[in-house]
Each structure stands twice: as structure tokens, then as C-alpha cells.
Structure 1
Amino acid sequence: MTQSPGGRQRPGFPARLPSSSPAQVRRTAAEAPAARVAPPTGVGMDSSAVRMAMVRRLQAGGVSHPAVLAALGAVERHRFVDTALATQAYEDTSLPIGLGQTISKPSVVARMIELICQGPAGVAGRVLEIGTGCGYQAAVLSRVAREVYSIERLRGLHDKARENLRPLRLSNLHLLFGDGMLGFPAGAPYAAIIAAAGGNDLPSAWIDQLAVGGRLVAPAVTAAGRQNLVVIDKTAAGIVRTELEAVHFVPLKSGIA
């Protein structure tokens, strides 16, 4: 166990939930000293100009948060998709990553991260990501948040994300294998929670693990029967729910596989 800045006991490595928990969460790291490097140069997909063109399109679409734009410009999205799809990496499209899952559109990643950055607590504390996938959004989050916990229920994707993220050596990003519907109580409370899969409603565990002043951004089916982006702000007076635009995410599922 380690001490948080406030003196609170924090889980060490590897971190597991108690054996009586159905999640049996195992913690790994996308490890070593944080890499805060200048945008890379190069040619083709390795060129920073390719990413900057994507960032300019996102700005034209309404994304304005400087830290979010800088993070999207720094993280090489083509390294998180199959080689055969690399030429599409900086288009505003979702792409398959295996096991029936997808990497979200850059505009959706930007929109959701910008929303949590604009929350009352911002991203000054810990952020929990539900659905690591290939690790791209987690890498972007690690550049705007102080500390990120990212949980994935599919072993194959957890392992793929770990391989994708290892070269980046991000010490503030921690990968978890477990049931995302249960969140990760050992790291709570969270300043923000962001989910990359949508269900009929938002699991109560997520709201319970959100700090007062924290913000949850996730897709969920609304009363109208459509999947929309939903923002939950947890205040001292209670929960404030805001429903935003329609989205299309993969289904939220329980358990591990």
C-alpha cells in the first residue's frame, strides 16, 4: 500500500479487489517515468503534420479545450489500430480493434474528454475509464489528467492495450482487468469517470465511486429509447443529469472474458 497526498491508503501493485468480489480485478501499469516529449517529427503516419491536420478539423468542429487538443495532437492514433487500417487512423471514423469492439472516432474522444475537463472538479484528481479497448483514449486521458485508471473486461483487449501503451511509458496510467460495470472502488473517489460502452442505464457503482464535484460522461439509453451521451454531475445537493447528442457505442456488458 502507498500513501496518497492526503495520507489516505492507496492500493499498491498489483492491486486486486478482495477475493469475495466477483470482479477479481488485476492491476498492471503502462509504466515507468511519464513521457512528456515534444511532438515527434517524421514522414507518413509518423509525421506530426498528419495529427495536426486532424486537430484542426476537430477545432473546426467545435473542440476548443487547449489541453485536449494538445493531447490529441501528441498521441499517435495509428499505433493503436491494425497496420492494414493505419491509413484511416486520422480520419474521423471508428475502426475495428478485434473482439467485436471499436476505437472511437477522434471527435467522440475529444468531445467526451473535453466534457470531463469542463466539469466542476476538472481532471485534477483521479479519472476512471470504463473500457480500455486498444488503449488510445487512455493515452489521451493520461496527458490531461493527473492519474488515470482504465479497466477492460476482455482479456485480449487488455493485453493488446498493455502492448500498445508500454512504449509510451506513462507512469500515471494504470491498466486494470476486470468487470467495468463494478468500477474500481479501491481507487475511488474519482474526479471523473468516462465510459466507452453504453447500457440501458448507468451502473450505480459508477455514481457511488464519483467524488462530490465529480463528473461522469457515458452513453446510455434515454427514455426516448435512443442512446445518447449523458453527463452526471455529483453535487452536495444530489445528482444532476444532462442528456446530450445521440451517439452509437458498443453495448455495455458485465463480467470478464
Structure 2
Amino acid sequence: MSPGSAFYSNRHNESLPCRPIRGTHGGSSFTFMPKRKSTREHLLNTGAMIVGESGLRALTVRGLSLRAGTNTGSFVYHFGNREAFLTELLERWYEPLFTGIRTHANIHLPAFEKLEAILGDVMEFLLRHGQFIAQLVLDALAGEQAAIRFISGIHTRHPLVLLETIREAQQEGSVLMGDPMNILIYLVCCGGAPFILSGQLQVHDPKAARPVLDLLGSILNDPESARQRMTWALRGIRRV
């Protein structure tokens, strides 16, 4: 191995320092070294926290490095620049949802059951990440290029899988005939729109939105209420 490749290998595996944990058990002393977290992983996790709180527009390389307890040189080594970092952060955040949806779309079940499972994946994702999504929308409106690229390309991913599953359910006779896109819009309005509305109210102007959130927040963000709305929506498109 050349000196250059050895340097790359060491830097690539750069880890945050961790302190040993010492103690006693059964009269014997022990020393435990916590598992090291890579600098790359730590920066991504810290970046996700910042974005969830204040959006992509609030994330700077210097601010991220300071909060993560690293230096800007480490950031540049691992990601190159801010745009590359934001792109990877968004993909890393979204990938679990898309993986779950593709898994449900490919299992051997009636199409209507697959549609229910996929919508369940989406609802759970919205429940966990409603505020992050609201920040992402505001980022795009503010001109953040990473947010604009992500949102403009999303239609080729899980919405496309949903459209294909709706068409499959129509072909098997379990969903009413009609424009699949119109059916998808109906499902989004019933299921996803309340979360997006709630998230937008919370991150855009929380003080002004307080009366609305006090009135509707417990319903908009309640998991059981959300699942009930989706159950009603699916009944509305089911062919019996």
C-alpha cells in the first residue's frame, strides 16, 4: 500500500474521540470503550437535527462544524461542499421510506392490500417527520437548491409507485375506475395534507398559529386520527 493510500484509509475511517468508561462489577474493575461514531455519520446526524429545527437555509458549514465539535477541514474532506452535504443528507433521510414502499410494492399480495401497506408507510413517515417536511417546503420557497432539486424529482419515486399500485388495484377490480392521478391527489389530501398544514403552521409563524394549533393540533397530529382519515379515504375509492 502506498503512503497516499494509507493516508486516505486513515482519514476515511476518521472517528470522533471517545473516552473510556470505567467501573466495577462483582468486585472486579473493568474498562469499556464506547463504539466510535465516524465523523461523517456524526456530521450527518447533527445536520439532520439542524434542518429539523430551522431548515436547510439555517445550515452553514461553520455552524454545523461548531455544533458537531469538528472542524471545517473534516467537513470538506468528507463532503466537499455544502450542496453535496445537503443532497446526501436528504437522500439518507428519505431512503428508509422509499425502501419500505418498494418492498411492499413487490410482495405477493392483492393490489389493494399493497396500497394499504404503502399508504401506511407514508403515514408513519409523515407522523415522524412532519416538521422536517414543512422546513423542506419553506427551504424550496426560499430558493435552497438542494430542496428544490429534491422536491422536483420526488414525483419519479414513491408517488410513481403509488400510481402504479393504484392502476394495479383498478385492474384487479378493487379500486374504482378513474384517473389514477386524481385518486392519488384525493388520498394525499385526506392523509398527507393535514400533517403538512400542521408542520407549516408550527415552523412558519408558531405564535400566530397558536390559536389554530390549539383548536386543531390534537387532531391533525394524532396518529389514530390520521389512520382513521386514511381508512375513510380508502373506503371512498374501494370498489365493492
TM-score normalised by length of structure 1: 0.24
Q: Considering only CA atoms, is the larger Rg found in Structure 1 or Structure 2? A: 2
Larger strand percent: 1
Larger helix percent: 2
